[in-house]
A and B are shown apart, each in its own frame.
Chain A
């Protein structure tokens, strides 16, 4: 065989070499990706005999029951994807400023995990960015949130937008939470 390493293209969606995409549930997306990124490979793989979906020549008959199963899996995957996207669109990242004592505040960040952010890592990043304590903890609704010591809500917002580009700005909400049962106003 040749000495030089072979360059293998991997699908950007399912990470398989494109010829194996047809066995994954994300096939339609894989096809789109391949068409956009490697059009030559796309035509080589998928346009045999005019049948774009199931690819290989002659193997169609034996695949019949398989392809039904696959179609089902594809449907499921699509639905799942849609759900995730809807959830992403509808959830708000809530940045809350919470008053601890009169002058001390903490900032809590909710719902980051919906946008595929690893909370633990994010907390660490916040800690080093803002030079303060920051940790993941469960709040009283049993949801995971990141608690940052100090009032950094504006900065957190800017930092989130800058670090995770997939998060749209309109999905971030700033809230201030003051201590209740205190008749006098904030000093």
Chain B
């Protein structure tokens, strides 16, 4: 998603949102990531101004104190940024890809089923399709991408062909780079 859209250059609008919208975002985030409950007050103090930055192609970023925490596409699920995910690894269910896949994921490829079913890979959780997941890698401690499942984990095991997870945000994409500027 962030291969072409640049979070600094393609800003369509940027506004501090009113408290009701803020409340909406909070409940949505909590719905999606129950783990977040412990940290939410810390991440987004109720008093801090919450900014929603809208980019091209219907992407919006949730920014608190100048730090991008979450983003979403249209009005769909919220994804945490990788930096946030590294800090709180428990936010998302994890899928692990094998070593051979890392290189491709780092250049933005979607994750194919075989990369999730081979010996180096792990799928410890059972998930339906359309869930936001963290992509871990064999032998690595930290997540390397955030994606959304295109098939349920059972299907991934059975079919073992085609896209299993769409890569949304990965190490080294434009959003990642913008986090360090």
Binding site for B on A (CB under 8 A): 1, 3, 5-8, 10, 14-17, 19-20, 23-24, 56, 59, 62-63, 66
Contacts and interface: CB of A to CB of B under 8 A. Distances in A.
Contacts of B100: 62, 66
Nearest to B100: A62
B140 A19 contact: yes
Contacts of A7: 87
B139 A56 contact: yes
Contact of B89 (A1, A14, A66): A1
Given A8-B86, A10-B180, A17 B102 contact: no
A82 to B, nearest CB: 22
Nearest to A66: B103
B139 A16 contact: no
B141 interface: yes
Interface residues of B, number: 24
Contact of A3 (B38, B102, B141, B172): B38
Interface in B83-118: 83, 86-90, 99-100, 102-103, 106
A6 B88 contact: yes
B140 A20 contact: yes
A19 B139 CA distance: 9
B106 A23 contact: yes
A59 B9 CA distance: 40
A159 to B, nearest CB: 23
A16 B105 CA distance: 13
Contacts of B139: 56, 59
A182 B139 CA distance: 75
Contacts of A66: 100, 103
A20 B171 contact: yes
B151 to A, nearest CB: 26
A3 B171 contact: no
Which 4 pairs of residues, A with B, have the shortest CB-CB distance? A1-B90, A5-B87, A8-B86, A17-B142
